[in-house]
Amino acid sequence: MLREAVLERRAFLQGLAAAGVLAACSGGDDSSSSRPKPKAKPAASVKPFDPDRPYWEQGNFAMVEDEVTETKLEVTGAIPSSLSGLYVRTGSNPPTKTSPHWFLGDGMVHGVRIEQGKAAWYRNRYVRTTLHEQRKEFQDAGVPGKDVNQSNVAVAWHGDKLMTLGEVGWPYELSPEDLSTVGPWDFAGQLATWMTAHPKIDPATGQMHFFGYGFADPLLTYHVADAQGRLVHSEPVAIDTATMIHDFAVTDQDVIFWQGPVMFALDDPDALATGFPFKWDPSGPSQIGVMPLGGPASKIRWIDVDPFMVFHGLNAHRDGDEVVAQVHKVPSAFGPDGDLLPSHLTEWRIDTSGPQLKLKEQRLSDINMDLPSIDRRHVGRQARHGWCATIDIDGPYGFEFAGLNHIDLKTGKDDRWEPGPMERGGEAFFAADPGSDTEGEGWIMSFLYDRTTDRSSLGIFDALAVADGPVARIHLPVRVPYGFHGLWVADA
């Protein structure tokens, strides 16, 4: 009965969206809400892609200058009435409009507050890091760490704290009320090393498992915070070489690290001159390691593999003696072939039964996609559903995110929304339907860019019918640049 009710409600919402129902939703009296809306630009005025300029300085990668508050937001379609909370996503936004790489701009968050199916406000705010406040460029800041980082990669909610995370250093706490920066957070003085941007929260215990990598010993450190946000465990994980380790995975029993040969360019004058600290070196380490959840790290076992790079994992789970992980595998990164290479969802089955780990690998999809999301109630457990942003490497406007894809890991079926070059998507974040405990029952949220108006909207999709398009678009008065990772923080 619940499933039928959910489907009936979604069909109703999709009908409203198809009919083009418009609503203006007010959430306050901020003076900026009276600002005139930008006029739509005709398609003929869209700027062409310039192949001689960095892709991250043009189109929808380019930075936005103003911090905006808007409380009167136009909505097309119907926001699900069960949604109440905050969608917030971070990304790279260099105040100087230029940076050595897309990854190295100051962190800026973009948030939309929804209250019982009504759009209450949109805000974008810089994360006021030490670097941002001192107006320092990344390459001029010295060795990154602690509060010296750009906090531009991901967003986490744990222990009643909203945090933005960078590649190295400490997280920064934000106010969920207005996205203002509270300050750096070092777990009440307990975090002595780094925190990298992809923590995993165990749905059974509420514990947050995370790690940090750095340039000097300890090169890799594993951490655990309890459900209240107190750091309860930290220990180094022995590796021989400092590399970029952007993500990892957990099961209900294991921690899985992967290390590809993206090395620090500390001895490469050409790389250092650009201000970009990473380089591809296929002679470096390429390995996958498995250790017990919660430690000890001394029990980690590694298996060597051919050179690869994985920026993001989808999920992992235990299947008897096998650890099964789905990851987005890239052939290389920051090397002679550039950093715009296809990313394919790949499954690793790691046999842990013998004295040596054994690996079986299978590509799950030929679609170029990344920035994965799952129903986070299934972190570390077998999950059926995954959502990703599809990628257009060489489209008419250069490299861009394209649409959204839902992959059913049980059937292998893809459910894909590809709107074409005049509208583009981004990361697809899953928000569970409060009325259902069933995996995948809920909504996908993604910032969508309309090239013809040079503005963005927050698209809301039925998570199990992505190809049908958004059931609602919350239209924003500004453009939201392509960014990295977001989060839905549902009201308690």
Q: In angstroms, what is the C-alpha Rg of the chain?
A: 22
Encode pLDDT of 378-392 as tens digits. 999 999 999 999 999
Which 3 state secondary structure label does DSSP give 31?
A: helix
Encode pLDDT of 224-235 as tens digits. 999 999 999 999
Q: What percent of the chain clears pLDDT 70, i.e. is strictly above it?
A: 88
pLDDT bucket at 4, cuts 50 / 70 / 90 = very low
Q: Determine whether 68 is exposed, middle or buried from the number of CB atoms within 10 Å of its CB (0-12, 13-18, 19+).
A: middle
Which 3 state secondary structure label does DSSP give 45?
A: helix
Q: Which long-range contacts (CB under 8 A, 24 or more apart) does 338-343 make?
A: 340/55, 340/393, 340/399, 341/393, 342/368, 342/391, 342/393, 343/311, 343/368, 343/369, 343/370, 343/391
Amino acid identity of 309? M
pLDDT bucket at 135, cuts 50 / 70 / 90 = confident
Report pLDDT for 215. Answer: 85
Residue 372 neighbours by CB under 8 Å, 6+ apart:
312, 313, 314, 326, 328, 345, 386, 387, 388
Q: Which domains does the chain show, CATH number per domain?
A: 2-490 (2.130.10.10)
Report pLDDT for 141. Answer: 62
Report pLDDT for 331. Answer: 96
The pLDDT of residue 238 is above 80: yes
The pLDDT of residue 19 is above 80: no
What span, in angstroms and rounded, lies between the C-alpha atoms of 449 and 469? 14
Report pLDDT for 95. Answer: 95
The pLDDT of residue 450 is above 80: yes
Closest CA relative to residue 470, chosen from 419, 427, 435: 419
Token pair for 336: 């002679």
Over residues 345-352, mean pLDDT = 98
